[in-house]
Amino acid sequence: MPVGVPKVPPMPLEPDESEINNQKKPKQGFLEKSIKFPKRLAAEKELIDEEENKVENEEEKKVENEEVVEEEVVEEEVVYKEVEVVEEKVEKKKKEKDGEEEEENEEEEEWVDLYERLYRDRALFLFKDLDKELANTIVGLMVFLNLEDNTKEQFLFINSPGGSLVYGIAVHDVSRSVRPDVHTLGMGVAASMAAFILSGGAQTKRLAFPHVRVMIHQPTCVFPKDSAPVDVGMDGEEVTKLRNYVVSHYAQRSRRSVSMVIADLKKNTYMTPTEARTYGIVDSIAADWEAY
């Protein structure tokens, strides 16, 4: 290329008329696709929004149900607590009422408990005229205490003017029949059948208090005025048998002859504790604390 001549760029070729038409006209269906696309997005968005609303509604309902359940539970707990409080009050009142009744019963049975405690300690009492009721009580207690524990000795305290011959012999026989020894303790006065029971205690365990008065005499019998002679004779024979039993008992214990005992029983024979010991009705005399 010769020097100094400028380089001229080539001239562009003129575009073909068909190409120009193709560039200016959009492809067929493009506008339709561009319009349909946002409509589909909007529909999908609506579906998504509806599903989200449904989920939110379900969650709200679930929360509401849970709140209702919690409220019901709280109400039930409150009701249960109120019921428990009422039951506690009722039980407390019931216990207070039972305690008051027990205190009243204890106050009413105070003396009964005292004698029951003495009976449990094997302490029995002949402190009045010996009749059927008292004899049955003493006999029943002796037998019961013997069955409960036949190793514990029993103590019969005597302060009585006497009583029925038949009932006295019953107490005398039982006191000699039970397994444990029966101590007899005379105080105050031990007369007639009381002296007989006093002398029937276990050997070496018959005690007289320092100021006791002992009296022995023969049994007496009263017959009705309208009784037939045959009945009087039969009753007299029975009384004689009982009298002979009493005489033989005193003769055995006092080591005296039967004639001497009969002579003593014909009258009221009073004895001091020392004389009663000499006669064999008691074995010993309790210590007199005034002498010390």
Q: Is the dihedral of CA 113, 119, 121, 124 positive or negative?
A: positive
Measured CA to CA, the distance from residue 219 to residue 244 in angstroms comes to 10
Measured CA to CA, the distance from residue 191 to residue 130 in angstroms comes to 11
Active-site residue, selected from the candidate residues 160, 175, 192, 254? 192
- Amino acid at position 120, single letter: R
Measured CA to CA, the distance from residue 74 to residue 38 in angstroms comes to 53
Measured CA to CA, the distance from residue 262 to residue 250 in angstroms comes to 9
Beta strands in 143-233 (DSSP E): 154-160, 182-191, 206-208, 213-216
User: Among this protein's residues, is 192 annotated catalytic?
Assistant: yes
Active-site residue, selected from the candidate residues 217, 248, 249, 284? 217
β-strand 213-216 against 269-271: which pairing, if any?
A: antiparallel
Closest CA to 242 of 292, 172, 290: 172
Catalytic positions: 192, 217
